[in-house]
Structure 1
Amino acid sequence: MNFLKKSYQSISADEVNKIMKDKDVQIIDVREQYEFAAGHIETAKLIPLSTIPSRINEIDKDKKIVVVCASGARSTSASKFLGKEGYDTYNMVGGMMGWRYKTK
């Protein structure tokens, strides 16, 4: 048994840009409202990190979940949590600091 197996996978901003409009992908932005308002991925849903446990029912277990934050730290925490809850979770490496595409 591999005890070091991560409960989530990593994904690049380039890969997220390619799949962000797929029907089987849900992008969760775990930053705070003011950060989200300053610019976010077009298809992202805002669920701040501190509210993930209480709002977990808003996250679709049948989809691939891409988690994003500003730099990757908060999204790593959220990805670990969601992965352990049984979600197919992907952490966007580098966060919004690594996003070179259009924002809303």
Structure 2
Amino acid sequence: MSNKYAKLNKPQAEFDFHNSGILNRPEIIKLTDEFIKQAIENDYKLINFIVGQGKHSKNGAIIKPLLQKYLSSHPQVKKIQPGKFAQGGEGVLIIDLI
């Protein structure tokens, strides 16, 4: 019997914004760029950002929409997609790097 989740691609690296404390937008972008730079230096092609679903923000999700917009035009990003349920669902962004 095979596990239906066995074929999910596992990230080579993962950054969890929950561990970063309260951040403003420039800090979020800076941490994102630093993480992508490290991933590229390590020749990683698949990374995850754990952004949460915004349940603890009074105005809803902040990090996820900011990253989606920013990464959609990032020169090192090939594809952005939400995580599957087993990967964290809507609280995760899966990034394919060039």
Shared fold per TM-score greater than 0.5: no
When the two structures are superposed, what TM-score results if normalisation uses the length of structure 2?
Answer: 0.41
Structure with the larger RCO, 1 or 2 (CA within 8 Å, 6+ apart)? 1
Bigger radius of gyration among the two: 2
